[in-house]
Amino acid sequence: MSTDLLQIGDVADRTGLSLRTIRHYEEVELLPEPQRSPGGFRLYSEQAVERLLLIKRMKPLDFTLEQMRDLIDIRDELARPRLGRARRSELTERLRAYHALVEHQLGRLRERVESAEAFARQLGDEID
Amino acid sequence: MSTDLLQIGDVADRTGLSLRTIRHYEEVELLPEPQRSPGGFRLYSEQAVERLLLIKRMKPLDFTLEQMRDLIDIRDELARPRLGRARRSELTERLRAYHALVEHQLGRLRERVESAEAFARQLGDEID
DNA sequence: GAGGAACCCTACCCTCACGTGAGGGTAGGG
DNA sequence: CCCTACCCTCACGTGAGGGTAGGGTTCCTC
């Protein structure tokens, strides 16, 4: 038996994403096209699930799907074994830039929490 | 002189919202139609600015513009002096419901921060 | 091997909260 | 009168999916 493949509904269950979302990610090439069953059903590997979980963790940072694709692709290429030194250091540089951006977005996210907390307190007070 | 009115650009500066956003809020009736200059320029009061700032604080909670309008309208009506007892308690009830929703959304927002932090750590580690 | 439940497919239109651009008018100083 | 900075409306575009129609596939059960 080949490594057990999942159909889209299983992937949705495992990731908490909707079918529509998963297909959409494929449309914009954030997720590679999966294999298909003879009848045309999408069949996903565990790798695909991991990629989706990674994307899900990234989502609150308000990146566009394109940025996420870019970032993940860099990361994936870096994980490959035989890679020229120049290429590797270029990729690392780009990843570092993304990391800075991530920290920045994280800051903004935290501000948003504070802003929301302020509103919640205000509302709480008004109710008495 | 009447209370000094601001034109839309000033309001944008003061609130950090874009002109387009402010006009959009008016389109969907989240913001009441402002006065106009003889030539048609929008002229806003300080009250309008406050309403926008309130909206801005509310935004991270991912409410729809319609929900915000509803919530703010309730709050505004509650702030009015002569209000029947029945009406008042109905409004308070609705406000309380929103408050619960706010707390709920706040929880989700905090989860998102954690999720994003996890991602940031992971990325940081991968870079070394 | 016939049925049927549960699942999946594509194609398409819809939503929400704005962004963007074209084309043109207004405010107010020189 | 002219200039610059600012404003106006109108209309279409965008990103990230949601929803639905109409139909095919898998697989279990009889």
Q: Which residues of A touch B113 (CB under 8 A)?
A: 60, 106, 109-110, 113
Determine the pLDDT at residue A126. Answer: 87
Contact A120 B113 (CB under 8 A): no
CA distance A78 to chain B (A): 10
pLDDT at residue A102 is higher than 90:
yes
| pTM score | 0.91
For chain B, the average pLDDT equals: 93
Provide the CA A7 to C1' D27 distance, Å, integer: 14
Q: Is the CB atom of residue A20 positioned under 7 angstroms from any atom of strand D?
A: yes
pLDDT band for position B128 (cuts 50, 70, 90): confident
Q: Do A57 and B115 touch (CB under 8 A)?
A: yes
Which of B112, B121, B122 to mutate to probe the A interface, most A CBs <10 Å?
B112
Determine whether the distance from the CB of A37 to the nearest atom of strand C is below 7 Å: no
Residue B65 pLDDT: 97
**Statement: residue B20 has pLDDT above 80:** yes
Query: Residue A66 pLDDT more than 90?
Result: yes
| pLDDT-above-90 percentage for chain B | 94
pLDDT of residue A107: 93
Query: Residue B1 CB closer than 7 angstroms to strand C?
Result: no
Torsion of CA A81, A84, A86, A87, to 10 degrees: -60
| Residue A82 to residues A78, A119, B74, Cα–Cα distance (Å) | 9, 53, 63
Is the confidence at residue A2, as pLDDT, over 80? no
Q: Nearest nucleotide to A17 by CA–C1' distance? A: D17
Convert the pLDDT of each residue in B80-108 to its tens digit: 999 999 999 999 999 999 999 999 999 99
Confidence of residue B3 (pLDDT cuts 50, 70, 90): low
Q: Considering Cα of B54, then B59, then B62, then B65, what sign does the dihedral take? A: positive
Among A92, A109, A118, beta carbon nearest to B116: A109
Which chain A residues are within 8 Å of B104, Cβ to Cβ?
none
- Cβ neighbours around B39 below 10 Å, total: 5
pLDDT at A87 over 70: yes
Nucleotide nearest to B41 (CA to C1'): D7
d(CA B123, CA A96): 9
pLDDT at A99 over 60: yes
Q: What confidence tens digit (pLDDT) does each residue in A4-61 have? A: 899 999 999 999 999 999 999 999 999 999 999 999 999 999 999 999 999 999 999 9
Q: Is the CB of B58 under 7 A from strand C?
A: no
Percent of chain A scored above 70 by pLDDT?
Answer: 98
Mean pLDDT along residues B41-52: 96
Residues 34-53 (A) near nucleic chain D, CB < 7 A = 37-41
- Name residues whose C-beta falls within 8 Å of residue A125's C-beta, 6 or more positions apart in sequence: none
Alpha carbons A65 and A60: distance in angstroms, whole number: 12
Asked whether strand D has any atom less than 7 Å from the CB of A59, the reply is yes
Q: How far is the CA of B21 from the C1' of C30 (A)?
A: 35
Backbone angles phi, psi at A74, to 5 degrees: -60, -50
User: How many angstroms is C1' of D1 away from CA of A19?
Assistant: 64
Is beta strand B6-7 parallel, antiparallel or unpaired with respect to A42-44? Answer: unpaired
